[in-house]
Structure 1
């Protein structure tokens, strides 16, 4: 692929052609269009199109768009032959986690592809016949004429398909043992790492590289480090995705977040001249401080010149002027008054002095995100006298262990017995619940009664945490958005009903401040959907009289933190405030010690949050600002 000289310089370190889109939806539509164009071209000539397909959250929007094109624009799949990359082993095709089931739900049940033209590795083949089966799978691909377009995601280990680190470039379809990190990442789908199969059948790297066209996709900040390795790093067995560098027609498709570690996005000034706007200047200066291990005000002309930033120095220098500008900008982000300081000059403060007190809504995707990610700020807002409301967007009921249900059921049973209460109907229901849980298989959807109990457990933990933070129960809003209530990790798409619930609360409270989770690396996607619901609700309210005076602040903390050059409001916490925040998190007992869905980080949520808050404070300290115990950080979303 040829690029203009300036663009080519930006891509200097990229060894695979890479396209970056604003978000995963636009990127997925681009990929789906390429697939659809090929299918239409082949259909006109009465020829087959052979697709290699992937599973997981990455390609789902591509499949959604292909389904739309079929239903609304008549795209026919009658001449399409598909081969899926992989399948867990052993795995029954109708199991909840089966890739057969996944592909039917997301694509095959909604298009006109003949069943006999669909190929997915069989997780039920007897073990002594797996080798022969894999050879047959390879032969079927050859008989179909080879794969025209192969879709790929990428795992945190750099795996493509289930080709784990150590896979050779000439490997073929085979039975492999899954890496520990891969199994940990899959734990949420199986309701516990102990239930994740240890093996899988996968196409080999060589099989993938035989495809005439390969498209690898990645979304979200969590994939940024491994994407940088795959695209800019050396080819090596420890990162199998790097083998794509040898393919003659491979392209990597990214959203904005997953591209963050690429040189052209992270440090473009090292490659070419930049458009040095305020945001880029701040980003460059913070990077330079960390590179030379100096605070902002100690940077010299030589530091700028020797580290690829002479262009900035020429335009805005000397160093002293640039340093003062960035130092003042960073200093103005720090405030102990997240709701605004009354009777103060707010010219250089992130929040307005008036009105005071403010009406505030803190949206919490799960029942504990509020205290995990901004517990210190929440407590500060309450102590300062603001009218603080907290809206819990989902019940969080799937993240409760079955043992907790049994414990609460036993409590109710013993309570009735202790006080001589005769509730035969209740006792019968409690017996049925225990019986269900005793026979429950991993990943089986809970009964409605059990989902209700798990929801109540989390709701009452939420009330305890809110009381500890100084909030009355009347300020808590349990939205229970419908998209979440499936009883499974896989959720329904966001609907108008979800948006209407959020809109109703906004119009009821008419907030001056809204806080929402911008922590989009949440691997299960709930944060992303909840934020989308808020954005759509705010758009619905755009003509309301209150919205002109409403600031929207995005927090992070459970899964990642804002880069310091992005932060627009930094709220310092003392050791005592950090300890109080921790105790509020501890009120969520069902998530303590070992949460059901920990994600890739094995630490408890309070440990992750504190480490991120302390690290933000350390970064401010190294840049030359006051030394705080911890800092909670926010970025403003402009309506």
Structure 2
């Protein structure tokens, strides 16, 4: 039978253990440790509803969403159809939205998305699939929207509505300013929404400016609503939607008025909720060491006071009297937390030789370590940890860099033609001519041919070698893995397979590292960082019982999008002004990614500027907490496997 809020809540307790009503929250929500587990729970609720309707001889009317959030839900539904006999013969679907104008056969269309991820793999009747027509003539659009509404009502409304959420707080394409009672209509897309979609369209200029969307009123009429949100780039808007006041500026807040809505979150998306970020403001806490540090850093930042200047009154006035009861006085607690932060700072990322390492983030031995720096794309290494990279090489460690993907789709056609035309001047050949011809004749939705993708990959390789040579690394220590999951020629990547994981395992086994550095971005805008990290985790799981892995430590860095919070940092590597410049120059070797980055989201700064600003901000945060002042700091969190 269909799961209601109470039943879903009980599943959340069992699977994630992360639900409780608080005075701050106005929408029921559950938090899972991973989006995969959360997606499975939602898929099983949908399946239970389909089966219940089948036993009643009734259609099951589903409102469906697109984007990255529901993909795993659809994958699980497809699995249940193929392996458990779940039939979609009684299912009627209405999609939330579609770009306008948009041909249904365009790979960016939501018609294409839904068929690739769900409809092509189940037994749903084609006449039961309803998706807004992105090619409807302008003079017919108004009537089409009315007809779409009437069609939904003819089935008695939506039994279940699946939603994602945009960073503007939009649901469907109901952008800020949308009215509570709005129905299906055309709408102009917000700049942030278009910027978030730019990676899929290979350029902001290619993203349509308009869309057709179900209205807020249409969505709210659904009998059951489940909203999915994954990743820390959704954390701030999730907090506003769940805890904020109802406002048209954040359309998702309208869901506070729906009595059968659940927000299903992964941990990263929940991190700004009061009960997660500052649980001591909600209830009494079990004060673990990590929570103590988080609380003290939060209080220091809230009051704009260095840690060592916090007083008993400061703690008591901000809901932390229970912490003082455990620790005795602010004086003792402050010193303890200050020392803990101080001990994260080191100029020796590979460990300081012949030094007492009791309170250092890294081991002193072995003095010279074998190191692998995993870089999802061929520039993440220098963007995210260029200063640390330089230190490791300078201090004599056996450093290896492994570029997990080719990064070929991030090279513009204009940049590729430039290289191809230069090559043809020296040695004209049919392959180069084919590349130039293919690019010049390519249509907006065309996929690059293999020859073009290969050239784009070689451009990224040559840039990477330029940067690693500049930092003093020998070419034999640079590894281009070209993980197969990435090589689709499109933004949509393949699934991670054993082939990808085995490539990772083979490299790790051949080097037997004492240190591994990897990108810990869990909300990378187009998913490659997350998949590359999963590939590493799967490789570590396979190799963890090998003798050499007992002496291997894993350090996670973050990229150009986010940084670790001060209380999360386990190792902080300070950089001098000269090292900041050296890092900048290493980034400059990646010329194809400079002066107009293809995947920069809504941040117009170039990656080298973002990296410097982020490193300076980390240093400033440490200084504001009362620690030494540095020009910049690169931060790492240790992963225990």
Q: Which TM-score applies when normalising by structure 1?
A: 0.97
In the alignment, the residues of structure 2 paired with residue 477 and residue 557 of structure 1 have an alpha-carbon distance, to the nearest angstrom, of 20
1:190 aligns with 2:201: yes
Task: Indicate if the aligned counterparts of 1:18 and 1:253 stay in contact, CA closer than 8 A.
Answer: yes
Task: Indicate if the aligned counterparts of 1:53 and 1:83 stay in contact, CA closer than 8 A.
Answer: yes
Query: What is the aligned-residue RMSD (CA, Å)?
Result: 1.3
Match of 1:515 in 2: 517
Could you report, residue by residue, the CA deviation over 1:224-251 in whole angstroms, capped at 9, with x for unpaired residues? 0111111101111110000000111111
Could you report, residue by residue, the CA deviation over 1:211-236 in whole angstroms, capped at 9, with x for unpaired residues? 01111110000000111111101111
* Aligned equivalent of 2:395, options 380, 384, 390: 384
Query: SS in structure 2 opposite 1:583?
Result: helix
1:577 aligns with 2:588: no
Query: SS in structure 1 opposite 2:432?
Result: helix
Could you report, residue by residue, the CA deviation over 1:336-395 in whole angstroms, capped at 9, with x for unpaired residues? 000000100000011000011000000000000000000000000000000000000000
Task: Indicate if the aligned counterparts of 2:18 and 2:30 stay in contact, CA closer than 8 A.
Answer: no
Could you report, residue by residue, the CA deviation over 1:555-612 in whole angstroms, capped at 9, with x for unpaired residues? 0131100000100000000110011001000000000111111123221111111111
> After the TM superposition, which residues 57-206 of structure 1 pair with which residues of structure 2 at under 5 Å, given as runs?
57-206=68-217
Match of 1:431 in 2: 433
Task: Indicate if the aligned counterparts of 1:10 and 1:268 stay in contact, CA closer than 8 A.
Answer: no
Match of 2:527 in 1: 525
Superposed displacement of residue 8, structure 1: 8.8
1:317 aligns with 2:328: yes
1:355 aligns with 2:366: yes
Task: Indicate if the aligned counterparts of 2:19 and 2:30 stay in contact, CA closer than 8 A.
Answer: no
Match of 1:476 in 2: 478
Query: SS in structure 1 opposite 2:567?
Result: coil
* Aligned equivalent of 2:602, options 600, 603, 627: 600
Task: Indicate if the aligned counterparts of 2:18 and 2:31 stay in contact, CA closer than 8 A.
Answer: no
> After the TM superposition, which residues 456-605 of structure 1 pair with which residues of structure 2 at under 5 Å, given as runs?
456-605=458-607
Could you report, residue by residue, the CA deviation over 1:160-201 in whole angstroms, capped at 9, with x for unpaired residues? 000010000100000111111111111111111111111110
How many residues align? The count is 629
* Aligned equivalent of 1:54, options 58, 65, 70: 65
Match of 2:14 in 1: none
Match of 1:420 in 2: none
* Aligned equivalent of 1:270, options 278, 281, 285: 281
Superposed displacement of residue 56, structure 1: 0.3
Task: Indicate if the aligned counterparts of 2:555 and 2:639 stay in contact, CA closer than 8 A.
Answer: yes
In the alignment, the residues of structure 2 paired with residue 556 and residue 117 of structure 1 have an alpha-carbon distance, to the nearest angstrom, of 44
> After the TM superposition, which residues 408-423 of structure 1 pair with which residues of structure 2 at under 5 Å, given as runs?
408-416=419-427
Task: Indicate if the aligned counterparts of 2:161 and 2:224 stay in contact, CA closer than 8 A.
Answer: yes
Superposed displacement of residue 409, structure 1: 1.2
1:446 aligns with 2:448: yes
Superposed displacement of residue 11, structure 1: 2.0
* Aligned equivalent of 2:219, options 196, 201, 208: 208
> Could you tell which deviates more after superposition, 404-413 or 619-628?
404-413
Could you report, residue by residue, the CA deviation over 1:250-301 in whole angstroms, capped at 9, with x for unpaired residues? 1101000000000000111011101100000000000000111111111110
Superposed displacement of residue 209, structure 1: 0.3
In the alignment, the residues of structure 2 paired with residue 581 and residue 566 of structure 1 have an alpha-carbon distance, to the nearest angstrom, of 24
Query: SS in structure 1 opposite 2:568?
Result: coil
In the alignment, the residues of structure 1 paired with residue 277 and residue 445 of structure 2 have an alpha-carbon distance, to the nearest angstrom, of 40
Match of 2:306 in 1: 295
Gaps of 5+ in 2: 11-16
Superposed displacement of residue 40, structure 1: 1.2
Query: SS in structure 2 opposite 1:546?
Result: helix
Task: Indicate if the aligned counterparts of 1:557 and 1:608 stay in contact, CA closer than 8 A.
Answer: no
Task: Indicate if the aligned counterparts of 1:557 and 1:612 stay in contact, CA closer than 8 A.
Answer: no
1:370 aligns with 2:372: no
In the alignment, the residues of structure 2 paired with residue 307 and residue 566 of structure 1 have an alpha-carbon distance, to the nearest angstrom, of 21
* Aligned equivalent of 1:20, options 31, 36, 41: 31
Q: Which TM-score applies when normalising by structure 2?
A: 0.97
In the alignment, the residues of structure 1 paired with residue 230 and residue 19 of structure 2 have an alpha-carbon distance, to the nearest angstrom, of 23
In the alignment, the residues of structure 2 paired with residue 10 and residue 213 of structure 1 have an alpha-carbon distance, to the nearest angstrom, of 20
Match of 2:13 in 1: none
Match of 1:307 in 2: 318
In the alignment, the residues of structure 1 paired with residue 281 and residue 99 of structure 2 have an alpha-carbon distance, to the nearest angstrom, of 43
In the alignment, the residues of structure 2 paired with residue 531 and residue 9 of structure 1 have an alpha-carbon distance, to the nearest angstrom, of 31
Could you report, residue by residue, the CA deviation over 1:8-61 in whole angstroms, capped at 9, with x for unpaired residues? 976211110011000100110111111111111111222111100000000000
In the alignment, the residues of structure 1 paired with residue 595 and residue 324 of structure 2 have an alpha-carbon distance, to the nearest angstrom, of 51
Task: Indicate if the aligned counterparts of 2:569 and 2:637 stay in contact, CA closer than 8 A.
Answer: yes
Could you report, residue by residue, the CA deviation over 1:434-472 in whole angstroms, capped at 9, with x for unpaired residues? 221111112321111110110000000000000011101
